Amino acid sequence: MLRAMGENIRLARLRRDLSSEQVAERAGISRNTLIKIEKGDEGVAIGMYFRVLIVLGLQDDLSLIARDDVLGRKLQDIGLTTPRRASKRPPLNN
C-alpha cells in the first residue's frame, strides 16, 4: 500500500511539473527523503508524507481515511444491546 501511495505522490508531483528538489525544499525535507517517500519506504515518518501532500495540495485526501468505517460500524452495532423490556416512562403527549 505504501508503494502505491508513493507512486501516486510521484505522479501527482510530475503532473504539477515540480522537480523533486522543489517539492523537497517546500516540504522542508531532503531530496533523499522525498525519493524514499515516492518509493513507499515504511521507515519514513508519516509526518513527512503529510508535508509532501500539503505541498502538492492533497492534504484533504487524508481526511477521507476511515471516513466510512464499515467494519467499525458493524462491530459497534454488534456490541449494542437492546432493552429487555419497554420503558416504564409514560408516553409523551403530542
Write down the pLDDT at residue 81: 63
Domains and CATH numbers, the chain: 2-62 (1.10.260.40)
Q: In the numeric block, which cell numbers belong to residue 14?
A: 510530475
Q: What is the pLDDT along the chain (94 residues), one digit of tens a residue?
A: 899 999 999 999 999 999 999 999 999 999 999 999 999 999 999 999 999 999 999 988 877 776 777 777 787 778 766 556 666 777 676 5
Taking the model in full, what pTM does it have?
Answer: 0.71
Please give the C-alpha separations between residue 48 and each of 12, 17, 42, 65, in angstroms, as whole numbers.
16, 20, 11, 17
Name which of 25, 15, 14, 11 is nearest 55 in CA terms: 25
**Amino acid 84: pLDDT:** 66
Alpha carbon distance 24, 90 (integer Å): 66
CA distance 46 to 43: 9
Q: How far is CA 59 from CA 34, 35, 55, in A?
A: 16, 19, 8
